[in-house]
Structure formats: C-alpha cells, structure tokens
C-alpha cells in the first residue's frame, strides 16, 4: 500500500494484518480521488473507520488542509499514527481512538469531505450516513465504500447520490448536497 500522488507520492504505508482487514486498493483509491481531485485543496477531511489511515493521508498528500482519523481499534490508531509520522503529516492531523458513531454525534465543526469505509454487512454505514449528512458542510462531499450487494439509500437528509461506481465487489457512492448536484 502506498500514497498514489501529491506531496508524499510513492511513500509506503503500513496496514493492519488479519482476515477482517481489507485495505482500499490503489485502483479504487485512484478512482475516488480522481472524482474529487478539484475539491480537496485546502479542505478538511474526515477518515471515519480509518483503518490504516491511507485515505486521509492521500487527501493530505493532495493538499487537504487537515485530516481527522477516527477508529475504535487501538491497533488501527497506532498504525495511523505510524503512517502519519512516516509521511510527515502529523502536524495537519488529528487521530482519535473512539467509536465512530459516537464521534459523529459529538462534533460541532462540520467537515468538507467525509470518507466512510466501515466493516461490511453490520449496518454501520447505514447508521453513519444520516448523521454525516447532518454534520457536513453544505458544500461538502460524502464518500461511502461498501459491498456491491449492500444497499444504501439515494439520499440522506439534503445529500443526494451524485455518482456510484462498482469495482469488482466494492461499490463507491459519492453524495453531494442537492443544491450542488
């Protein structure tokens, strides 16, 4: 796993080990960031269910002002911290070891871009999306990764599905505010 482009291009990142770990592939990561490439510069990024932190690190590498990484696993939080130190982005990052839904419910400052890639098939995405839609800037972008067969709605609050693509068994959905679609 590596940073694809930007300031930290080519830098290797560590990932968690185990059967329940599924890092976003470079192909999917490149597709996601290509679709929002003009929306990243100077914006705030939330990497919810952060895992290794590779998506938030990619956003920082491409010019995001800051990134917040949230994961309930201490092992994941430690890997995120290690990866941030390896690429030199720790000064623009916040890493939190906490429950993702609980974190969403307590934030008061809205984010510009939120990336969600929770464990598949347990309903966390469906639980998080409506809360994210309430906690993101009107000009924001919600990026959701899930299994192709897992259903999500066409809109959450005032955020509507703008684009959806499948990459093998992975589905990526991009939501924008209804006034910006």
pTM over 0.85: yes
Check residue 19 and give its pLDDT.
54
Check residue 160 and give its pLDDT.
97
- Please state, in angstroms and rounded to a whole number, the distance separating the CA atoms of residues 123 and 134: 18
Check residue 22 and give its pLDDT.
72
Check residue 20 and give its pLDDT.
59
Spatial contact of 175 and 156, defined as CB atoms under 8 Å apart: yes
Put residue 134 in one of left, alpha, beta given phi > 0 → left and psi -120 to 50 → alpha: alpha
- Please state, in angstroms and rounded to a whole number, the distance separating the CA atoms of residues 124 and 100: 9
Q: What is the pLDDT along the chain (181 residues), one digit of tens a residue?
A: 899 999 999 999 999 876 556 778 889 999 999 999 999 999 999 999 999 999 999 999 999 999 999 999 999 999 999 999 999 999 999 999 999 999 999 999 999 999 999 988 889 999 999 999 999 999 999 999 999 999 899 999 999 999 999 999 999 999 999 999 8
The tokens of 143 are what?
């990026």
The tokens of 69 are what?
């990484």
CATH topology of domain 26-180: Rossmann fold (3.40.50)
10 Å CB burial of residue 5 (0-12, 13-18, 19+) is middle
């Amino acid at each position: 796993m590596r940073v694809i482009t930007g300031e930290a291009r080519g830098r290797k990142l560590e990932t968690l080990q185990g059967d329940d770990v599924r890092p976003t592939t470079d192909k999917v990561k490149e597709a996601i960031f290509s679709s929002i490439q003009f929306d990243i510069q100077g914006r705030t990024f939330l990497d919810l269910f952060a895992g290794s932190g590779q998506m938030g690190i990619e956003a920082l590498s491409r010019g995001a002002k800051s990134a917040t990484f949230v994961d309930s696993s201490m092992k994941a939080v430690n890997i995120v911290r290690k990866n941030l130190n390896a690429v030199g982005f720790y000064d623009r990052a916040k890493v939190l070891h906490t429950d993702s839904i609980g974190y969403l419910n307590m934030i008061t400052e809205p984010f510009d871009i939120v990336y969600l890639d929770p464990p598949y098939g347990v309903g966390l995405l469906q639980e998080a999306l409506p809360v994210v839609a309430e906690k993101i800037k009107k000009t924001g972008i919600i990026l959701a990764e899930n299994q192709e067969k897992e259903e999500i709605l066409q809109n959450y609050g005032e955020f509507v599905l703008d684009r959806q693509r499948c990459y093998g068994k992975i589905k990526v959905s991009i939501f924008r505010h209804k006034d910006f679609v």
